[in-house]
Structure 1
Amino acid sequence: MNPTAGASPEDLRNRLVDAVVNEDTSSVRDARVDTAMRTVPRHAFLPDVPLEEAYANKSVTIKENPDVDALPLSCASQPDVVHFMLVQLAVREGDNVFEIGAGTGYNAALLKYLTGPSGHVTTCDIDPDVTAYARRMLDANGYGDVRVVTRDGALGAPESSPYDRVIAAVGMWDLPAAWWGQLAVGGRLVVPLRWRGLSRSVAFRREETRMRSDSVRMCGFLPVIGQDGERNGYIDDNRLVRLYWDQDQDIAPELLRDSLSRPKSVVWTDATVGPVESFDGVWLRLSATERPTCRITVNPAAMEAGLHRPASPALSPALVEGDSIAYLILERTAENPDGEPRFRLGAVGYGPVGTDLAERICTQIHAWSPARTAEPVLTAYPADTPDSDLTDGAVIDRPSVRLVITY
């Protein structure tokens, strides 16, 4: 029997929020966000979606991409991600808020609820179909005072600035220069930031000459249109193994064509994880210590043909130097065969310096293991900031920003 059958929208909303809050392992809470999500009717912004689906903890596509091999053009974000990003944003009553990525208008409605009658919300999207949909939904649900604009979000909306809070609901590879001047000093920016093949929701606090993070959470978002600094390419003739990296990295996939057919080097650590325990922090540490960090994606057919299975075939961290590669792996331990399984972490390397790369991955596994919930600090500076003014850490240069990652 389906326990949600016949349940009211209010009941379904409360159950969804209860589940989201109970499953959130972070220590940061905001009761106002809980109340907003219990109040604003998500289903009303998804009128063509069955009620139970509207209150499932999953994203909903609202505009498909005509390219069948591409990601959708617009989605209603997964509710647990909406929740923790709003917690990161810490909206106050009376705030002036700018949102990039209008979606269904639901998130803008939540923002308006949080800012209250004295606050202001502007949401934008580059796609006129998306903004038209958001405008209709907001008007139909009593949020006519939310401003909706059609434009490239990288330009911001200077006519309504300065903003106390800025939030992006699309994956950003760079932090546009326009945002610096439009976010007030002391304000907050929450953005799904992409670097070294990974994506994390980063909450920045705006300071006089920089932005400094105080929260980094795992997330996945559709990439923003117009930022093309990410690269990808296959490293095998059968197009089964693919790498994703940034334009500032010296990675040439054609040099790796023969690497995976060479003898492999496997290096193990004594660090173990349970079946649902995250080892995501290893990737974050690699990005803060190893410039050649990137992402590998492996088709099951490649593993059937003998390639060593990555820890997560869909997205695992890798190191690449010239014609050599190594990536994170795991295997079940023999201990406690009748109890909950444990998996030890290690790395496999291919190519002339594959062993060295694998050992460098294991060094970061060892660094991560005793402090598994530690988050890096990301500090963003304008692109023209000299090296002497940067904090210590790994520097990643983008067209509009210099990003420093520190543990």
Structure 2
Amino acid sequence: MTTLAGQEVPEEEQLRDALAERLIEIGAARSPGVVAAFRTVRRHLATPEADMASTYSAEIATITKTDEHGVDLSSVSAPRVQAMQMEQGDIAPGMSVLEIGSGGPNAANLAEMVGEDGRVVTMDIDPDVTDRATAFLEETGYRNVTVLTGDAEHGDPAHAPFDRIIVTVQAADIPPAWVAQLKDGGRLVVPLRLRGLTRTVAFVRDGDRLVSDGFELCGFVPMQGIGENRVRLAVLHEEVGEEVGLRLDGHPEPDTAALATALSLPRTVRWSGVTLGGSESNEHLDLWLTTALDNLPLLTAKPGARARGLVASASPLGIPTLVDGDSLAYRTVRPTDQQDRYELGAIGHGPQGHALAELLAEEIRTWDRDHRGHRARIEVYPAGTPDARLPAGGRRVERRHSRITITWP
């Protein structure tokens, strides 16, 4: 059954309630305010061209715009991800919230949480996106939301300072305006890309620095405008349906010809003895690997490359891969004799494949021995901050506006 503007049909309430219950079940929505927002917001009205039921699926992001190559430019994020960020934001009634990356439904969620005494500003660089958000918010009656069209690199000084800033596009850097417009002690929630790995991080402002207070695995469309800084793909194999490449994010330029040759050579496998449960995420392991190892881009491959035997694993997010000249090694898993448990290991290719696979396996053992129960601490400092002010050890990621550090207990 379709929905007419301003007229609710019975299926809507059922879909909203089912979505809220699913978000509770998977642990994405925990606080009463987040649950209530999803029970209330008529999110399907933002994307009338989409199937109504799909817009209330916890895991489905609704794509609203693509470029001429089919690359996603904007979307309404999956409810699970929206709920996750709302929980990270710790949003309360009366707060002032800036949302960077608009779409409509998430601004409505935030408006529900801040209440009549609060204020939400939602902004996007794309007028098509803000026009859609404006129409949705007017149709659904949210009056405490201001929609702005502009480059979010500069934030919104007219309505600052904000108690919370929620970023719903992937960012590789933290512009100074975001820190300056956030109240001291306020929270910035941002999908931050660190050496190719994206995590939505909840930061707390402490003077001129940001200190992490938890992070979650996520995927978002990249930021556009002045702050755009996209990952570059170095292609190793380009047969249609079998493409293999390395996603580079500040990593050294690889010798693609030598690595393409390496993939055609016999592989070396080294197993670590470290196991994961079937439902246990490897996100903290991968963050440890990118902290500990210097040249670790992400290997991406189409399923056809795995079927042909070029690679043993294919992941849409990419697999951490240690590269050294003409050789590489990437993380892999195999089943164990225990039900729903898998052993971690590494597969090497090329003249140094054996040594690289062993090095990668050894770092997996180090993580298991020293850091498996820990979570990384991520801090953001202004560009130009002296080394003496930065935490000792760990990994430093240098960006135009900021110096980002990843350290472990």
TM-score when normalising by structure 1: 0.90
State how 1:173-184 maps to structure 2 within 5 Å. Answer: 173-184=172-183
| Alignment-mate amino acid for residue 286 of structure 2 | W
Question: What CA RMSD, in Å, does the superposition of the two structures yield over aligned residues?
Answer: 2.2
Match of 1:317 in 2: 320
SS in 2 for 1:200: strand
State how 1:41-120 maps to structure 2 within 5 Å. Answer: 41-70=42-71, 72-103=72-103, 105-120=104-119
Match of 1:188 in 2: 187
Query: 1:125 aligned to 2:124?
Result: yes
Query: 1:284 aligned to 2:287?
Result: yes
Return the alpha-carbon distance in structure 1 between the equivalents of residues 167 and 258 of structure 2. Answer: 36
Query: 1:304 aligned to 2:303?
Result: no
| Alignment-mate amino acid for residue 272 of structure 2 | T
Match of 2:138 in 1: 139
Deviations 1:233-260 (Å, cap 9, x if unpaired)? 1123647211102135454434423221
SS in 2 for 1:158: coil
Return the alpha-carbon distance in structure 1 between the equivalents of residues 253 and 204 of structure 2. Answer: 32
| Alignment-mate amino acid for residue 64 of structure 2 | K
Post-superposition offset of 1:206: 0.5
Return the alpha-carbon distance in structure 1 between the equivalents of residues 82 and 230 of structure 2. Answer: 26
Match of 1:3 in 2: none
SS in 1 for 2:141: coil
SS in 2 for 1:53: helix
Post-superposition offset of 1:296: 0.6
Contact kept, 8 Å, 2:306 with 2:314, in 1: the verdict is no
Query: 1:171 aligned to 2:170?
Result: yes
The 1:241–1:151 alpha-carbon spacing in structure 2 relative to 1, beyond 3 Å, is same
Query: 1:369 aligned to 2:368?
Result: yes
Match of 1:347 in 2: 346
The 1:279–1:157 alpha-carbon spacing in structure 2 relative to 1, beyond 3 Å, is same
The 1:7–1:309 alpha-carbon spacing in structure 2 relative to 1, beyond 3 Å, is farther
Deviations 1:32-53 (Å, cap 9, x if unpaired)? 1112221222223333333322
Post-superposition offset of 1:388: 0.8
Contact kept, 8 Å, 1:245 with 1:251, in 2: the verdict is no
Post-superposition offset of 1:382: 0.6
Return the alpha-carbon distance in structure 2 between the equivalents of residues 234 and 137 of structure 1. Answer: 41
Deviations 1:278-302 (Å, cap 9, x if unpaired)? 2222211112211212211122332
Contact kept, 8 Å, 1:63 with 1:74, in 2: the verdict is yes
| Alignment-mate amino acid for residue 179 of structure 1 | W
SS in 2 for 1:99: strand
Aligned length: 394
The 1:60–1:280 alpha-carbon spacing in structure 2 relative to 1, beyond 3 Å, is closer
| Alignment-mate amino acid for residue 220 of structure 2 | F
Return the alpha-carbon distance in structure 1 between the equivalents of residues 317 and 212 of structure 2. Answer: 28
| Alignment-mate amino acid for residue 303 of structure 1 | R
Return the alpha-carbon distance in structure 2 between the equivalents of residues 373 and 217 of structure 1. Answer: 16
Match of 2:386 in 1: 386
Match of 1:149 in 2: 148
Contact kept, 8 Å, 1:154 with 1:178, in 2: the verdict is yes
Return the alpha-carbon distance in structure 2 between the equivalents of residues 263 and 246 of structure 1. Answer: 28
Contact kept, 8 Å, 1:237 with 1:257, in 2: the verdict is no
Post-superposition offset of 1:62: 4.7
Q: Where do 5+ consecutive residues of structure 2 fail to align?
A: 1-8
Contact kept, 8 Å, 1:216 with 1:376, in 2: the verdict is no
| Alignment-mate amino acid for residue 51 of structure 2 | P
Post-superposition offset of 1:263: 3.4
Return the alpha-carbon distance in structure 2 between the equivalents of residues 255 and 196 of structure 1. Answer: 23
Return the alpha-carbon distance in structure 2 between the equivalents of residues 325 and 245 of structure 1. Answer: 14
Contact kept, 8 Å, 1:274 with 1:341, in 2: the verdict is yes
Contact kept, 8 Å, 1:173 with 1:230, in 2: the verdict is no
Contact kept, 8 Å, 2:196 with 2:249, in 1: the verdict is yes
| Alignment-mate amino acid for residue 34 of structure 1 | V
Match of 2:245 in 1: 242
Query: 1:293 aligned to 2:296?
Result: yes
Query: 1:253 aligned to 2:252?
Result: no
| Alignment-mate amino acid for residue 288 of structure 2 | R
Query: 1:358 aligned to 2:361?
Result: no
Contact kept, 8 Å, 1:281 with 1:373, in 2: the verdict is no
Return the alpha-carbon distance in structure 2 between the equivalents of residues 350 and 50 of structure 1. Answer: 45
Runs of 4+ aligned structure 1 residues displaced above 6 Å come to none
Return the alpha-carbon distance in structure 2 between the equivalents of residues 119 and 257 of structure 1. Answer: 56
Match of 2:35 in 1: 34
Contact kept, 8 Å, 2:171 with 2:222, in 1: the verdict is yes
TM-score when normalising by structure 2: 0.90
The 1:116–1:233 alpha-carbon spacing in structure 2 relative to 1, beyond 3 Å, is same
SS in 2 for 1:347: strand
SS in 2 for 1:64: strand
The 1:96–1:138 alpha-carbon spacing in structure 2 relative to 1, beyond 3 Å, is same
